[in-house]
């Protein structure tokens, strides 16, 4: 797919491939598996968190397509494709929708380009870009050729900001991205939290850090700050399994078992 083997780091754990392992995928390597198993030892609910993060993505995407009428989506931190993917959820509702996926890991983009195809009425594009440099996303040719940035866009930031290294200003990064969107756009975001299971989440963060994958868990107030200046959609920022649940089994989960907040908001 245009990358040489030495460009793909299979010797170190990677958050996207660990996530794929938690979801039961096959696109991961021994370092990812080893790190993920260490996480499971201290946080047995890691798979539950990962699966509910995907469920939140699907529910929020359906809401944005059905209720808000959004037809353009920018998904940052795509990760390994896991069906149904974002474009499959959206284009089932509105086949003409246009989606741009971005990630900074060549192996993620390789799988995305090989496995994800758009409905012929719409379009799907893939950009190799780095969230630490928002300009690399906003100026990516794939984005500029696919999305009309004068019309509303849904910015999907699903379980990605907490993996940005701590030396970067996470709020400034998000502000730059949201500022580039026109009024009527939306932000959908999830972020891990230690509010409900502090000891388990602390130990899990230490495992990630030891694998050179920093993770920033945040209390609710810090996550709500990401939505500053935006109009939150009901029910606001809540544990992700409590955001517009569409399956009775979600109500059986405790907040500690999920340990992630999510929300959706509109840019006025």
Using CB atoms within 10 A of its CB, is residue 233 exposed (0-12), middle (13-18) or buried (19+)?
Answer: buried
Q: Taking a C-beta distance cutoff of 8 angstroms, is the pair 102, 78 a contact?
A: yes
| pLDDT at residue number 17 | 83
pLDDT in tens, the chain (268 residues): 444 444 556 677 877 788 888 888 887 889 889 989 999 999 999 999 999 999 999 999 999 999 999 999 999 998 887 878 999 999 999 999 999 999 987 777 777 766 578 888 999 999 999 999 999 999 999 999 999 999 999 999 999 999 999 999 999 999 999 999 999 999 999 999 999 999 999 999 999 898 888 899 999 999 999 999 999 999 999 999 999 999 887 889 999 999 999 999 999 9
| pLDDT at residue number 248 | 82
Distance CA 157, CA 130 (A): 13
Kindly report whether the global pTM for this prediction surpasses the value 0.85.
yes
C-alpha distances out from residue 77 to 19, 94, 182, 236, 252, Å: 12, 23, 21, 23, 29
Domain ranges (residues) in the chain: 5-266
Encoded tokens for 114: 């090989």
Which candidate, 156, 124, 144, 151, places its Cα nearest to that of 57?
Answer: 156
Distance CA 204, CA 199 (A): 9
Which candidate, 88, 92, 87, 56, places its Cα nearest to that of 74?
Answer: 87
| pLDDT at residue number 108 | 78
Neighbours of 41 (CB within 10 A): 12
CATH number of 5-266: 3.40.50.150
């Amino acid at each position: 797919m245009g990358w040489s083997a030495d460009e793909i780091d299979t010797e170190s754990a990677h958050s996207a491939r660990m996530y794929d392992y938690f979801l039961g995928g096959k696109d991961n390597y021994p370092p990812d598996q080893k790190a993920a198993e260490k996480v499971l030892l201290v946080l047995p609910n890691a798979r539950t968190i990962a699966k509910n993060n995907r469920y939140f993505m699907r529910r929020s995407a359906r809401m944005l397509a059905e209720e808000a009428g959004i037809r353009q989506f920018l998904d940052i931190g795509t990760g390994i494709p896991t069906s149904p993917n974002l474009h499959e959820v959206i284009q089932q509702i509105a086949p003409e929708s246009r989606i741009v996926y971005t990630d900074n890991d060549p192996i993620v983009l390789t799988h995305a380009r090989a496995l994800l195809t758009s409905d012929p009425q719409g379009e799907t594009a893939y950009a190799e870009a780095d969230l630490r440099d928002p300009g690399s996303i906003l100026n990516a040719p794939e984005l500029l050729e696919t999305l009309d940035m004068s019309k509303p866009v849904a910015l999907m930031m699903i379980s990605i900001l907490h993996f940005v290294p701590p030396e970067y200003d996470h709020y400034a990064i998000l502000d730059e991205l949201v500022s580039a969107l026109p009024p009527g756009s939306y932000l959908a975001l999830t972020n891990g939290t230690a509010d409900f299971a502090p000891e388990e989440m602390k130990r899990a963060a230490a495992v990630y850090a030891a694998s050179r994958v920093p993770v920033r868990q945040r209390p609710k107030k810090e996550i709500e700050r990401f939505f500053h200046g935006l109009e939150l959609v009901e029910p606001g920022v809540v544990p992700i399994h409590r955001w517009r649940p569409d399956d009775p089994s979600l109500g059986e989960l405790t907040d500690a078992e999920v340990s992630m907040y999510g929300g959706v908001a509109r840019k006025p």
